[in-house]
Amino acid sequence: MARTKEFDPEAALQAALELFWRRGYEATSMSDLVEHLGIGRASLYATFGNKHELYLKALERYQEQLPDLLGELSRPGPVLPVVRALVRRYADEATAENLRLNGCFITNTAAELAPHDPAAARQVERNWDHVETVLHSALVRAGAQGELGAGRDPLALARMLLVLLQGLKVVGKASPDPARVRDAAEQALTLLD
46-100 confidence digits (pLDDT tens): 999 999 999 999 999 999 998 888 888 999 999 999 999 999 999 999 988 767 7
Read off the pLDDT of each residue in 122-138 and give the average, rounded to a whole number: 96
**What is d(CA 132, CA 96) in angstroms, rounded to the nearest whole number?**
24
What is the percentage of the chain residues whose pLDDT exceeds 70? 97
In 3D space, the residue among 172, 169, 168 whose CA is nearest the CA of residue 185 turns out to be 168
> How many C-beta atoms lie closer than 10 Å to residue 164's C-beta?
19
Residue 1 binned pLDDT confidence (cut-offs 50, 70, 90): very low
Residue 5 binned pLDDT confidence (cut-offs 50, 70, 90): low
> How many C-beta atoms lie closer than 10 Å to residue 116's C-beta?
8
